[in-house]
Amino acid sequence: MEPALKKGFGLGGRIDRALALCTSPSFPQGTDEYWMEQALIESMNSIGISSPNPAVGCLLVVGESVVGRGHTQAYRKEHAERMAFLNRDPAADLSRATAYVTLEPCSHHGHQPPCVELLLASPIPRIVIAVRDPDPRVNGEGIRRLRDAKKEVVLSVLEPECRAWNLPFFRNRETGRLFWAAKWAETPSGHLADASGHSKWITAEKSRAYTHWLRQKYDAIVVGARTFLEDRPRLTVRDCALPHQRHPVRWVFDPKGLLLSLPADAISGFTVFTSDSVLRSAGASGRGNFISIPEPPGSPDLVRSWIQTVESLRFDPPVQSIMVEGGAALLRSLFREGVFQAVHRFVGEKDFLTHNASQHLGWSPDQKWILQSIQEFDRDLLREWIKKD
């Protein structure tokens, strides 16, 4: 099966940019695809700060020169188009320019004024847009206004690649729900850990760097309690390309209260979800790092209740997307509940000396899943899928 995205692109954007490697153009210089790829790479500077807004890039191009560039700033701050105008060469003749934007310019008043007004007030005659904004306050209105003003508008240039980069935003606007992604690394035999539950390290440095990049892309990262106890993951952003602009919100799913016995500094920076009855019996209700999971009558499996709890919480800035990094039991339960909309699956060359069937996830994509990208990181192989709309 051929991936849906062009080579070199994944759900984390342009892959070599995420790894701080030299980024060679994928398209002939001067073409719309060439400049849109550069706008997408520009948008990757918004990672970790734009959410829940999309990470958008904008280039103003005259001939073969970029005369203005910008990307979405922190939540509630300036959008990409406004930054491109603020950073433009004042001597540039915008009447000869083309604006390349990875998402339809907004046409509504939010925390920022409408970006389409900038383009309408400018002499720029041509605007190239990768993908329509699904927000019901926009959804083609920006495009319509530009065309009504007799601007030339070109649509759908690198649309799949730009949509994949902002997939949590698109799905959230389309469904109104949190976006859940699964990420794991497995051995050639399909095991996520050895018989004792240890999983370090199945993959090599480049795969881990891309994982760190994805951590910054998603708003929250989750692991199960046993994975936390065995590996003590930091779940932080360290080894990927700059900028490092935030760590994700870090959560542990711990329905049995295995982490209650740990000292406070061992779970500092983590929020732990534990069943209500366990917290009450331990006298830990209201304890700082712990959030109670309600227990529906007759329901031994708390995963569904935990999903509902997570989706009912309100954060500032909002949590729009979650990446679950394991372990096998938690991933298996969430696949059974059908919450995942994206998968990042790494296969390393290393195998463990001991195996346990509980550490074998055994997931394989059915017809509901669309292969997006295949990436080789030295001897590791990454495949990424998204679930059909």
Which residues are catalytically annotated? Answer: 81
Alpha-carbon torsion (188, 190, 191, 192), positive or negative: positive
Reading the block at residue 31, the tokens are: 């073409």
- H or E element at residue 83: helix 80-86
CB 236 within 8 A of CB 215: yes
- H or E element at residue 345: strand 340-347
Q: Which residue has the tokens 């926009």?
A: 138
C-alpha span between 311 and 306 (Å, rounded): 9
C-alpha span between 83 and 344 (Å, rounded): 32
Q: How many Å separate Cα 380 from the centre of its chain? A: 21
- H or E element at residue 292: strand 290-293
CA distances (Å), origin 170, targets 131, 134, 135, 289: 10, 6, 8, 31
Picking from 109, 118, 163, the residue whose alpha carbon sits closest to that of residue 138 is: 109
C-alpha span between 9 and 163 (Å, rounded): 11
Picking from 89, 37, 30, the residue whose alpha carbon sits closest to that of residue 64 is: 30
